[in-house]
Structure 1
């Protein structure tokens, strides 16, 4: 059983290389400096992230527990149930628990009666929405759209319809190496006056966040290949 008062800290990480000085605030640094156990999506990148903060922690003395979309629930349950100290959850990029395997661990933490503490940090989804000019009163995040062309087209048509009829912003993403194909599908499927926001490399030095009509994007296609991107239909 857990010790009473154990907390799970939701620790945001960087979205782009070498941005920790700008986007990782003192609250996150203080939490990491106190913790020795971390649930992480990728051990190697988590170790590198913590080391980059230069908090004086001995990385080899820390405990990293892998938490991916393929981690069996029973493994995560046992790890959380046997905690004897506070722990952190670190996503591969951005905020843990949002479009991230950390959500499953948080659900278990609540069932075990653990305290869950979210920390403020960069989220490509919210930053893209903030900068898009589309509705922030009503919005939906859909994660990844289908890869199959017919199913993807149908999904895009549904998103465009909901954006128009419900006045609801539609947010989605793709694996970076398929970004260009997704953009082409969006521009081929949507009406010329539909607004599309592309938020690419959010927080990086070459960040690009622009909202244009489908017609305008067709006249000036960006190359999004292998660049982390959030797409918005508004």
Structure 2
């Protein structure tokens, strides 16, 4: 006897209980409904199976009943999803893209940023979009960004955009800059040392003198973002 069928709908809990009872009679099966807060209470109520001592609570309602469909949810009232206006008719502002630290960004965004730090904004964007190869003579005498020396930057993810000789030159320059602690302020472009009175943008990895970004002390927040990154992500 098939008491439960695929596509059955129940509009209240009483109907479910009734069907379960019919199924028990038809199949000579008993369903146990238990709700005990402690192991001791569960044993007093006559549960027969073994219970692991490390379990503090358990709750068994009914055995699994598959293919039971519940009534469809009623649609919520209010403005339609995707509406360009608020309830009172004011045009909604576009949502801002959330700023993320560099290490959390997607691989594509990282690749574009690293290429621009090596080749400059325009050349880096062109190489990224057209999947071009960069040759050795194109990386000579370039002013690499100091962001490339950051520990979260993996140069190998852009290796596919460079010839072998060009990539060796890029790696050599970056390693030399790391040894020399090469950093420039992203605001005044002057050299700086990573001692005191400096702050790093978690998104573009650029370092800035505190006075250049109108700060008196290093922010206590885990991540700090420069004004340029905030404007880009408006």
Provide TM-score, normalisation by structure 1: 0.24
Larger radius of gyration: 2
Structure whose residues are more often strand by fraction: 1
Which is bigger in relative contact order (C-alpha 8 A, separation at least 6)? 1
Provide TM-score, normalisation by structure 2: 0.24
